[in-house]
Chain A
Amino acid sequence: MNRLLVVFLSLLVGSVFAHTNEHANLGEQASSIKTSGKVFHESVSIIRKMHPEFLRHKRDKTLRQGVRTDEYSLKGCVLCHANKNKTNNQYHSVDKKGQFCSDCHEQVGVSLDCFSCHRTIPKEGSL
């Protein structure tokens, strides 16, 4: 019984520490911002937890009231967090497997429906 408890506890503790603060696939611009020492998101934990609310609030303001700021703009998310395919110099879609958005969304089992309409790569000319 005790042995089982030890196994269970070690698994529990292990899973807590397995969740590191680093994102494996941050995206090109986001990585360069990070390495330059600049801070884009004031708090990573807040943006991780709250980004759906931020985006939802922003989308209504933009679409219904015409407020077009760059704060919490989905275009901005895609622009910074998209990765380029090194061989053909094309962007990977952010919602494709292993890319920035799908990485976490798959892990936590939350489907995301932004990209059935929204563009998944930065716009032409920003290559």
Chain B
Amino acid sequence: MSKTLNRRDFIKTTSATTIGVATIANGITLTTFAGTNKTPVTNEKRWGMLIDTNKLSEIDIDGMVSACKKEQGWGSEVHSTGNQKPGWIKKLKVKDKATGKVSNLALMCQHCEEPPCVDVCPTNASMKREDGIVLVDKHLCIGCRYCMMACPYDARSFVHETLSNQKEHMPRGKGTVESCTMCVHKIDKGEVPACVTSVNSDAVIFGDLYDASSKINQTLKTIQSAQIRADLNLNTGVRYSGL
């Protein structure tokens, strides 16, 4: 790979450098703010959550729901009625018919590895980020709601009315589908989802499923946990224990 510098190459590199310097000099007064995440996310991480239904009380779940509402700005829709109302995270009561054991679940988008919502989307709006977070690209969403029908967890909702005063980090608008984003705006800043921070105990653990030193990875190795509708082989990012 030895390469001698000929006249043509020399002119090329020097002119490139000159242009580079000129651009810097031109933009020297450019006012910029410090950004956060500058590099694209990779599949070296997979974000997940472990919810311990034994430790999680009903009050905790209500707290998670209201924390989600507050963070993402949903739940104050006035014209939507009944099941038109959005529900990014829901309180669900499940009862074992044989034993009568009742467990309370906080159910939201399970952030599947093989998301059915992404499979059915005709416009590529329903998408999975490299780090496993399933999102709706509302720029492309045409509001067909196929994803809502495909989701086995009923995790998505449709915005039925004109909205205003949305959260800066969470654009929401009429005619598009929305769901739990796992607080992606917070994760990209190195923070933890709002519902996780709302729970005081360690009933909800958030972290990188692939990182062997993370608390969620270590806990999943030691205790028994389950995926809801594991029979569908979706490999969910949200896991439950104590079911």
Tell whether A and B belong to one assembly.
yes
B127 engages A64 (CB within 8 Å): yes
Q: Given A63-B135, A117-B166, A68–B129 Cβ distance below 8 Å?
A: no
Task: Give the number of chain B interface residues (Cβ < 8 Å).
Answer: 39
A118 engages B40 (CB within 8 Å): no
**Across-interface contacts of A65 in B (CB, < 8 A):** 40-41, 129-130
A120 proximal to B (CB < 8 A): yes
A67 engages B167 (CB within 8 Å): no
The residue that A39 contacts in the complex, of B30, B37, B129, B174, with Cβ under 8 A, is B30
**Across-interface contacts of A119 in B (CB, < 8 A):** 165-168, 171
Overall SS of chain B's interface: loop
B137 engages A70 (CB within 8 Å): no
**Across-interface contacts of A106 in B (CB, < 8 A):** none
B164 proximal to A (CB < 8 A): yes
**Across-interface contacts of A59 in B (CB, < 8 A):** 139
State which size class the interface on A falls in: 20 to 34
A107-127 vs B, Cβ < 8 Å mask (1 yes, 0 no): 000000000111111110000
A76 proximal to B (CB < 8 A): yes
Closest to A59 in B: B139
Can you identify 7 A-B contacts, CB atoms within 8 angstroms? A65-B130, A66-B131, A67-B40, A68-B35, A68-B185, A116-B173, A123-B167
Which 9 A-B pairs give the minimum distances between C-beta atoms? A117-B173, A69-B35, A65-B40, A117-B171, A123-B168, A66-B41, A70-B33, A116-B173, A118-B171
Chain B residues within 8 Å of A, Cβ to Cβ: 26-27, 29-41, 127, 129-131, 135, 137-139, 162-168, 171-174, 176, 184-185, 188-189
